[in-house]
Structure 1
Amino acid sequence: MESLWKLAYLLEPASLTLIATAVFVTFASGSRALDHGKEMERNLEFSEASITLDRSQALMIPLASSCSLLIMFYLFSSVSHLVTAFTAVASASALFFCLSPYVANLRVQLGLMDPFVSRCCSKSFTRSQGILLLVCIATVVAWLVSGHWLLNNLLGICICIAFVSHVRLPNVKICALLLVCLFVYDVFWVFFSERFFGANVMVSVATQKASNPVHTVADSLSLPGLQLITKKLELPVKLVFPRNLLGGVVPGSSSMDYMMLGLGDMAIPGMLLALVFCFDHRKSRDIPLDPTSSGHKYVWYALSGYAIGLISALAAGILSQSPQPALLYLVPSTLGPVIFLSWIRKELRELWDGPRPISNEKAHSMEV
């Protein structure tokens, strides 16, 4: 009975904030992926920058992730500056990708002119895009200088949304293959890696902080204000929330402890949400539905399953007092309802194989 009372810590501000943020990010990733898919249909340049995974690529992702994990485990101190620099560039690009639609919409609503001002890497930049790029770079610089967890989370959220939008799944068959492989990957590296490598590889990598190259450069040049630049950085590959957020502290933790959730625990279910988002959109476009049926879309079942799986993972971590592989709970709770519901509705075959390619004659008639 005493152990059940520990579940009350799920109501701590840090836990509630993490759950709400993760659910929002997963939903936003799928929604943005749907919008990006519509943009790809209108503009060929967008489709060239996106990847649709096939079976071999889905199998390679867990292997590549395992190699990257081992490199970070053994050589992190040697490559931390390089990893931080790469992450900074990726963060600025992802932030630009996420904010661009809002800037464009605001410009249209205000009726502002937006002339082309420059051309870089065979792409034209308008004035608003140039200003937005400067804002994104300034945000990344602020993160490099301060290392604040809010900026870390903002950049991590943008990276997650950009990844889900650009790396797409063609059908549930490839999705299930990817999720099952990553399920095994997560379980192995959290529960069994210590037997082979002498330490919990996943936890060790997740809790490491990277050396800040800005601090290193400022120190070598003896620049003033060095004490204001953080020496170590939490990389935006995970969400972090202080356990003492709004004054709540979980017993056994200090005020400097953080609750963490890896981006993969949002991005991988987000890819499934993006897939069912597109399927729901395609069905509603081909067969117009009445407004009362909007609550029966697959995305709501997948999102509800994600919330249940995430709460289960956090609860298991609290009860066991040990790190848990979140995908152990998230994969069954998201993929299971989608497959079961599509089987009940006799739409599993359509989801499993994905949309049929449009023939040339039909495509030509649609264009006309």
Structure 2
Amino acid sequence: MSSGLGRSRAYSLVDSSQVSTFLISILLIVYGSFRSLNMDFENQDKEKDNNSSSGPFNGNSTNNSIQTIDSTQALFLPIGASVSLLVMFFFFDSVQVVFTICTAVLATIAFAFLLLPMCQYLTRPCSPQNKISFGCCGRFTAAELLSFSLSVMLVLIWVLTGHWLLMDALAMGLCVAMIAFVRLPSLKVSCLLLSGLLIYDVFWVFFSAYIFNSNVMVKVATQPADNPLDVLSRKLHLGPSVGRDVPRLSLPGKLVFPSSTGSHFSMLGIGDIVMPGLLLCFVLRYDNYKKQASGDSCSASGPANISGRMQKVSYFHCTLIGYFVGLLTATVASRIHRAAQPALLYLVPFTLLPLLTMAYLKGDLRRMWSEPFHSKSSSSRFLEV
């Protein structure tokens, strides 16, 4: 009996929904991290062009869209997230339409950012890269207009159908955009942020039911919202035949994959992808910075007994493997306990601890701990991973 139960749990781990969750979450982190690194290279080039043509005063103009989290923000972000969670728990009926519209707008912009490289590739042979002026709205290339138009179409189809695949596509866009546009400046800020979010995740999944008589995290994550078209139809008294047959919407704050049999589904919040993804993005930038600074030479401050093979293993490899193991552990725990698990409880230790250990052994821990990056232009464009 026990062996049969063990086999069924093992088979559940290779179910299509679980495999899809694993692959997509890792691909989003890797892709978002490299988009972020590429944006750094582009900003460096623009800064050099601005400095050479307009003097030093426009040097930081290209970095306005990038948000760097400092220590204070890292400490208070779990508190702000808890307040937002409580607002959604107690006042969901009152704010659901506004929240849905805001989420749809953000998802449109994020998915347009996800589609932009593909649109640039498609429009390069047949369209010049000159920007088209739209007055006060700004200037945009043909690729940017195409990606935004496709994103608007996808959001409209999602609103009309509520299909889970379209919701997943929008969630993927949000993940990539947040990983690409948000920066962790040091390992200290990374530890503060991830440790605080671990406590936040554990409390709202495991202990909120004792206070609020309901699992706050699960209820907010799974509660569908009224479709804005249905609400608009009722407010304007357009009749039962106009806008009344649209489904309720499950918001793109998570990735959802149904199993091949349709009997269950796998769900992973985008916070469980984005927050470890920010750490992966940080270590990828550090790997690239160290490669530029030392030309792939071994750290002189590292212990003498570190093998050459370990020196060749990047921090990005180490942390990405830790993320995979943590996600696998969270999946096994959810199958054993047959209940939702706080994924960050497993992801944070399995990513941070190997990274801290490896940084200590290589002699980079002190340098990574506080502000390891220096303003420096480089001609390097690629990092082998």
TM over 0.5: yes
Tell me what 2:92 maps to.
76
Under a length normalisation based on structure 1, what TM-score does the superposition of the two structures give?
0.88
**Which of 6, 20, 32 is equivalent to 1:4?**
6
Deviations 1:45-87 (A, max 9, x none): 4411111111100011100000000001111111110011001
Contact 2:289–2:373 under 8 Å retained in 1: no
Percent identity of paired positions between Structure 1 and Structure 2: 34
Contact 2:229–2:243 under 8 Å retained in 1: no
Tell me what 1:144 maps to.
159
Deviations 1:269-319 (A, max 9, x none): 0000000110111122223339x9996111111111111100100100000
| Pair 1:221-2:266 in alignment | no
Tell me what 2:296 maps to.
289
Supply the distance in 1 between the matched residues of 2:64 and 2:257 (Cα, whole angstroms).
Answer: 36
Please report how far the alpha carbon of residue 91 of structure 1 lies from its aligned counterpart in structure 2 after TM superposition.
Answer: 0.5
The residue matched to 2:323 in structure 1 has which SS? helix
**Which of 26, 41, 45 is equivalent to 1:42?**
45
The residue matched to 1:210 in structure 2 has which SS? coil
Tell me what 1:89 maps to.
105
Deviations 1:81-100 (A, max 9, x none): 00110011001110112222
Supply the distance in 2 between the matched residues of 1:228 and 1:56 (Cα, whole angstroms).
Answer: 47
Please report how far the alpha carbon of residue 105 of structure 1 lies from its aligned counterpart in structure 2 after TM superposition.
Answer: 3.7
CA pair 168-121 structure 1, distance change in 2 beyond 3 A: farther
Supply the distance in 2 between the matched residues of 1:307 and 1:319 (Cα, whole angstroms).
Answer: 18
Tell me what 1:366 maps to.
none
> How many correspondences in the alignment?
348
Supply the distance in 2 between the matched residues of 1:260 and 1:312 (Cα, whole angstroms).
Answer: 15
| Pair 1:269-2:280 in alignment | no
Counterparts of residues 161-172 of structure 1 (less than 5 Å):
161-172=176-187
Write the letter of the residue equivalent to 1:286.
A
Supply the distance in 2 between the matched residues of 1:355 and 1:187 (Cα, whole angstroms).
Answer: 31
Please report how far the alpha carbon of residue 104 of structure 1 lies from its aligned counterpart in structure 2 after TM superposition.
Answer: 2.4
Under a length normalisation based on structure 2, what TM-score does the superposition of the two structures give?
0.84
Supply the distance in 2 between the matched residues of 1:294 and 1:156 (Cα, whole angstroms).
Answer: 36
| Pair 1:345-2:362 in alignment | yes
Which 10-residue stretch deviates more, 220-229 or 57-66? 220-229
Deviations 1:123-182 (A, max 9, x none): 312233223221111111011111111110111011011111122100111000100000
Tell me what 2:331 maps to.
314
**Which of 351, 356, 360 is equivalent to 1:334?**
351
Of structures 1 and 2, the one with the larger relative CO (CA 8 A, separation 6+) is 1
Contact 1:7–1:318 under 8 Å retained in 2: no
CA pair 115-26 structure 1, distance change in 2 beyond 3 A: closer
CA pair 262-295 structure 1, distance change in 2 beyond 3 A: farther
Contact 2:127–2:142 under 8 Å retained in 1: no
Q: Which runs of 5+ in 2 are unaligned?
A: 47-59, 298-308, 378-385
CA RMSD of aligned residues (A): 2.3
Please report how far the alpha carbon of residue 197 of structure 1 lies from its aligned counterpart in structure 2 after TM superposition.
Answer: 1.2
**Which of 247, 258, 267 is equivalent to 2:265?**
258
Contact 2:21–2:257 under 8 Å retained in 1: yes
Q: Which runs of 5+ in 1 are unaligned?
A: 250-254, 364-368
Supply the distance in 2 between the matched residues of 1:100 and 1:294 (Cα, whole angstroms).
Answer: 36
**Which of 29, 34, 37 is equivalent to 1:31?**
34
Tell me what 2:224 maps to.
209
Tell me what 1:64 maps to.
80
